[in-house]
Amino acid sequence: NILITTANEFGAKNVTFYSGTGDVTVNSAYATTGTGALTLSAWRNVLISTGTINLAGGNLTLRSDNSSASTTGSSAGTYGQVRTLAAISTNGGSITIGGGSGAITAGSGYALGVTAGTASTVRGVSIAAAMDAGGGTIIINGRGANTTGNSNYGVIVTGVGSIVQTSGAGTITVNGIGGGNTDSTSNSGVILTTSGIISAQNGNVTLVGQGGGGTGIGGNNYGVTLGSSGIARTTGAGSLL
C-alpha cells in the first residue's frame, strides 16, 4: 500500500505514485504551484480520503487495478474501486478516472467495485466530495461489483456538496455499468443522488449508463438514475446528452 502524506511542492514536475501490490490512499493535502500532472495508480483501489488535491493546471489521473488482474486474472472481481471523499481541483487540467492497464478513454478502462466489499466499495467509482476541473475535461468510467447484493452502482455521485463540474468549454463524460447478479436490485450504471450534481458550462455533459442485475426478480436496474435531489446540467451553451 501507498499512503500519501507529503506536503512537498513538485511544481511543474509530473508525479506518479504507483502501487504494485496494494492501494493508493491520499490522507494529506496535495497541492502544486506549477503545471505538473499527478497520477495515482494502484494495483487495487484508489482512495482520496482526508487529503484534498489542488493542481495548478496539471492533469490528474486516478487509476485502479493497474495490472488488470481484477478483470482477467485469478483475483478477478476482488478489487479495483476509485473513491473520493475529499475535494479535488485541477484549475484547467483534465481529470481522468478509471482502471485497468490500458489507456483510459471515454467508455474504455473501468474502475471496478469490490466483490467482497461493503455497501460503499461495491461501487466502481464513488464520488462524495467536490471535483472541479476548472475548464478541463473530465472522464469517469466505473463498473459495479458482480455480487448478489444490491446497489452495485457503476458510478455514483452522492451527498450535499458532492459536485463533478467544469467551466468554459470543458466537457464531462461519464460511463457507468451496473453490477449485480441473480436477484440483485438497484444496480444503476450512473446515479446522482442525495444532492449529487454533475455540471458543465458551455461544454457537453454525456452520461452513458447500463443497468446491471441478473436474470432473477431484481428490479430498478436503470442505466442512468437521478435520485433524491440529483442533478445533471449545463449552465451555458453546453448540451446534456
What pTM does this model have? 0.96
pLDDT tens-digit series, residues 17-54: 999 888 999 998 999 888 999 999 999 999 999 889 99
Residue 98 in this model has a pLDDT that exceeds 90:
yes
Least confident among 70-84, 103-117, 220-234: 70-84
Residue 166's nearest CA partner among 31, 60, 63 is 60
Least confident among 14-18, 78-82, 186-190, 200-204: 78-82
pLDDT tens-digit series, residues 110-122: 999 988 878 889 9
Residue 102, number of CB atoms within 10 A of its CB: 10
Residue 26 · residue 49 · CB < 8 Å: yes
Predicted pLDDT of residue 16 = 93
Q: Which residues of 181-191 are buried (b: 16+ CB within 10 A; e: fewer)?
A: beebbbbbbbb
Residue 212 · residue 177 · CB < 8 Å: yes
What is the percent of the chain where pLDDT is above 90? Answer: 79
How far are the Cα atoms of 97, 140, 175 from residue 105, in angstroms, in the given order? 9, 9, 10
pLDDT tens-digit series, residues 149-177: 999 999 999 999 999 999 999 999 999 99
Residue 207 · residue 239 · CB < 8 Å: no
As a whole number, the mean pLDDT across the chain is 93
Predicted pLDDT of residue 183 = 93
Predicted pLDDT of residue 74 = 47
